[in-house]
Structure 1
């Protein structure tokens, strides 16, 4: 079962290598069992002094042992190669799974889970056929061969050993399950601890202002303590299970010795055969005990396979067999309802954002402004209703078409720990350097470059930590310009920006809007008043008003009040600064 699940995640080449490796392991284990069985007639002939017969049996043992060595050597060589290929397969399947997951799956922090699978988990599973399964198969197949062969010498001793097989099997299954449960809980604790440590590292500037003994310190400490407790539980449970299993195996040896002694006392078995069979009985148990020790390793590997299964089982957004082509790049919402975990954000929302125009979305916090942009980018599908791009329902376009057509610029911009230029180049990796710089200059990134040592090759730090929020957003806008997508989604979060960044981002918006359908979650007064169309949300999942700035002011309704409040608030802030 475990082997079949592993092969499911292997590439064709990895699958072939693992099958060949394990086949050779089986052959080697059978040959080993036969070699031990041949010791019975060999020892019996030596015991009675029949040297000529002993010589023939010795040659047979030597030939079988030579076959065992050859099969084992080839199995080990192929096994080492298979481990590398299996690791590549697992990481490739993990990568394919991650990029096909709906973006909504990443709405909670999955860093610890993905990191655990991609590092220790994948590495452990890839070495399992060579380091664990090989020894487990040998630990059971060789004794199984010995057990079958014992029936040819003395069925009573063989039957004694056979009676113990179900007991040993039940013990092994219990051992694996006990360790598996503990490792699964430990894996969850490791993922949580990883998330907390990453969170702790990223939030250092904020945490240092909070002083020592902040809640983040306690959360990290609690997560690490939980990981320690779970690991201790794995060690205690695993150790106890292995000890019980070893006791069951030793019980079979005791049973064999008792039955053998009774048979020898009764004279129904000769001493030479009894000694040889007792030696085989001991050899029967030793590899089973070793296999029991390694059985926990299979349970640990199963945890990673379970996690890969869970990733594969996450529902994907439906994709069309033949993606449609949009007539243009206008956006339309038709009766769209959407909720997060059952809490409605949008209720039967309907509006149109004309192609080639800028539509500003305004409204109170939590009214669904950012959700609208994420539905257009198809991070989610609506619970009800339809989102159209160019007159085509988004699900009929498919993810590839939408990714090419839509360039999102959200508040939380993530930059890779690379140079400024390379972080922009992601928007058009096939374009020449001068076009990248041209797009970056239109987004006013050149102003950032001028003050940094290294210029365009200055590193931004992990997550863009060397830059301010406004500077990171400028780089994100430059990516969108470079991508040259016909639809741009911009969450224009300017509330925490300094005046320089606010002006720069405003100019970048002016640069990006030409010839594109631009949907802006607008905060700046300048952006709002220059939009071709304004949609004001009511905070209850619907639209309160829509129209141009002039039309809405003339109507004297909710938008006009909102506008006056914003103007007054801005004027008050400026007065205070003066």
Structure 2
């Protein structure tokens, strides 16, 4: 487990972890050795001159004080290492997640990451701060005490040592049983959580269809599965606890009987026997705690394994010698890209000269949004190349590539902060005057004027306190402030009311001015202002030309345009 922990943490954190483990081991040995000093104390107390116990008693007190100092230092080192590592893991996790392909983030994985980043990381890192010291103490201290017993009476020491293989065997077998139970419980928990979310999100549909009882039955089945898995997990843990308790208590009883036999035979003194029994009794507490610690460590190990698997997910590779393009034209060269088994883009070639506007039109699932995502390198192509300024984007540093692109999505996400803070994401070092200018150009002034705190109004998580059109305007202001030479627009007005659509279009026009633009649109009036239009279907260009040329030719684009304009004509 320590190897996995160090792998998750990275090499830079290995030294403090090893230093903490060494300090905890020394502390546990010191604890066991301090108990050995009870033998001369008890021997003197039960001897002819009890006053002679003063010196060994002072030595024992000094040893205990020294152990207390070591325990304080080791626990403090564990807490400090735990908090440092926790911060480091969050930074490493965040950096890694930022480098993964956007396509990796499925709905299931997002939920799993949220749980892992919250409870999972805390539970995994609690090993260093809270569980490592008791674990080392529960294993090293009893072994040290057994070593001391071997020195004072090898027969009693061997009797105590005989219990070690049994304890190890019980821990291994119960650990395997509990690991299987924990895995099943985790799977059941995931399923139940998904059913709960599904049940809540589907309420409007279920109530309209009058099928709430059926759906609740599915949720109830999932919760019963959690209950059964929890019961099995508890029973598997109980077996280990009972077995460990039985072995420890039996061993202590055997030592008591064997020691009494040797004492009655005169082979061992009463003081030595009492000291050995005190040492054996001191071993029982940490040994019995192994069962509880084992369960905690297995749970932490499971989270570590999930964290390790996530950190092993290969990110998009960064170029060893990055190149910076001097132009801002775009090109697809024989690009092929597949989502799983479905080929979305197939041998696709297209170029967009610098400063021109390309509109991509086509039915749902044609691959329009995928082309934008390939330009922004949310994915890497399977074959071919996507180029910016003639340079393959895989040879451009990701941070620099992102600085050259402004992406306005159909579904805008705003962070839980003020309008100004969300706009500043485009350029954090922008002046207040630049922020105001961007907001004004995005037609946000009217929105800001009617909000209670203006630009300092909090938008809520995801921008929930603003309407869809208002969120879109904030997104456009963010892109205007960024002032990138390439603009990618993905269905930015597909679900807006007429007032917001007009305002958004005015902001979009300012955003597109003088830039290389690729836009995806279903509302075709936006397409009329493009320099070139391509009609895409199943990853292939079906038609290519200007808006007027495509209408004169007839075909798919003309049919699409007529269908889109029919409601307006009526």
> TM-score normalised to the size of structure 1?
0.89
Q: Does residue 119 of the first structure (1) align with residue 118 of the second (2)? A: yes
SS at match of 1:485: coil
Structure 1 position 329 matched with structure 2 position 325: no
Provide the residue aligned with 1:436 in structure 2.
Answer: 435
Distance 2:489 2:383 in 1: 24
Q: Distance in 1 between matches of 2:384 and 2:232?
A: 50
Q: Secondary structure at the match of 1:152?
A: helix
Residue 552 of structure 1 is matched in structure 2 by 550
Residue 352 of structure 1, CA deviation: 1.2
Specify the alignment match of 1:505 in structure 2. 504
In 2, the alpha carbon distance for the partners of 1:426 and 1:211 equals: 45
For the residue of structure 2 that corresponds to 1:489, the secondary structure is strand
Aligned residues of 2:240 and 2:291 also touching (Cα < 8 A):
no
Range that drifts further, 415-424 or 264-273: 264-273
Q: C-alpha deviations, 1:268-290, integer Å up to 9, x for none?
A: 44554334323322222321112
When structure 1 is superposed on structure 2, of 176-185 and 559-568 the one drifting more is 176-185
Corresponding position: 1:361 with 2:360: yes
Corresponding residue for 2:148? 149
Q: Deviations over 1:305-346 (max 9, x none)?
A: 222211211111111012111231111111212121211111
**Matches for 1:123-522 after TM superposition, within 5 Å:** 123-187=122-186, 213=212, 230-260=229-259, 263-264=262-263, 268-522=267-521
Please give the alpha-carbon distance, in whole angstroms, between the structure 2 residues aligned to 1:40 and 1:303. 43
Q: Closer, same or farther in 2 for the Cα pair 1:77/1:525, shift >3 Å? A: closer
Q: CA deviation at 1:219?
A: 7.5
Change (3 A) 1:88 1:157: same
Does the CA contact (< 8 Å) of 1:493 and 1:523 recur in 2? Answer: no
Shift of 1:550: 2.3
Post-superposition Cα deviations, 1:74-93, rounded to whole Å, max 9, x if no partner, equal 22333333333232222222
Structure-2 change in CA distance of 1:318 and 1:213 (3 Å) = same
Distance 1:110 1:37 in 2: 54
Residue deviations 1:475-506 (CA, integer Å, cap 9, x gap): 21221111111111111253432111222222
Q: How does 1:27-42 map to 2 (within 5 A)?
A: 27-42=26-41
CA–CA separation in structure 1 for the residues paired with 2:427 and 2:201: 28
**1:518 Cα shift?**
0.7
Question: 1:169 and 1:124, CA in 2 relative to 1: closer, same or farther beyond 3 A?
Answer: same
Structure 2 Cα separation of the partners of residues 218 and 507 of structure 1: 51
Is the Cα contact below 8 Å between 2:345 and 2:539 reproduced in 1? Answer: yes
CA–CA distance in structure 2, aligned partners of residues 49 and 95 of structure 1: 69
Return closer, same or farther for 1:217/1:498 CA change in 2, 3 Å cut-off: farther
Shift of 1:179: 4.0
Question: d(CA) in 1 for partners of 2:211 and 2:417?
Answer: 32
> Whole-Å Cα distance in 2 between the matches of residues 206 and 450 of structure 1?
38
What's the offset of the Cα at 1:365? 0.9
SS class of match (2:534):
strand
Correspondence for 2:45: 46
8 Å CA contact retained: 2:494, 2:521? no
The answer to whether the Cα contact below 8 Å between 1:136 and 1:294 also exists between their aligned partners in 2 is yes
Cα deviation, residue 144, structure 1: 0.7
What is the total number of aligned residue pairs between the two structures? 570
CA-CA distance at 1:134 after TM superposition: 0.9
> Per-residue deviation at 1:163?
2.1
Q: Report the equivalent of 1:66.
A: 65
CA distance, structure 2, for counterparts of residue 501 and residue 310 of structure 1: 44
Using the alignment, how far apart are the partners of 2:130 and 2:445 within structure 1? 54
- Shift of the 417–385 alpha-carbon distance from structure 1 to 2, 3 Å rule, reads same
In structure 2, C-alpha distance between the alignment counterparts of 1:357 and 1:215, rounded to whole Å: 55
The answer on whether the counterparts of 2:374 and 2:386 sit within 8 Å (CA) in structure 1 is yes
| Cα displacement string for residues 219-275 of structure 1 (whole angstroms, at most 9, x for unaligned residues) | 777766665655555444334432322223223324434544554566544554334
| Residues 25-58 of structure 1: CA deviation (Å, up to 9, x unaligned) | 3222212211222223433343343436544433
Structure 1 residue 99 corresponds to structure 2 residue 103: no
- The answer to whether the 8 Å contact 1:360/1:533 transfers is yes
Q: Does 1:108 align with 2:107?
A: yes
Question: Alpha carbons of 1:557 and 1:363: their partners in 2 closer, same or farther (altered >3 Å)?
Answer: same
- For 1:26 and 1:389, how far apart are their aligned partners in 2? 57
Please report how far the alpha carbon of residue 198 of structure 1 lies from its aligned counterpart in structure 2 after TM superposition.
7.1
Structure 1 459/48 Cα, relative in aligned 2: closer, same or farther at 3 Å?
closer
Q: Give the SS at the match of 1:415.
A: coil
Give per-residue Cα distances to partners, 1:366-403, cap 9 Å, x unaligned: 11111111111111111222111111111111311221
The separation in 1 between residues aligned to 2:204 and 2:421, in whole angstroms, is 25
Question: For 1:523, what is the secondary structure of its paired residue?
Answer: coil
Corresponding residue for 1:86? Answer: 85
Contact 2:423 2:477 in 1 (8 A): yes
Q: 1:414 to 1:543 in 2, by over 3 A?
A: same
**Given the two structures, how large is their TM-score scaled by the length of structure 2?**
0.90
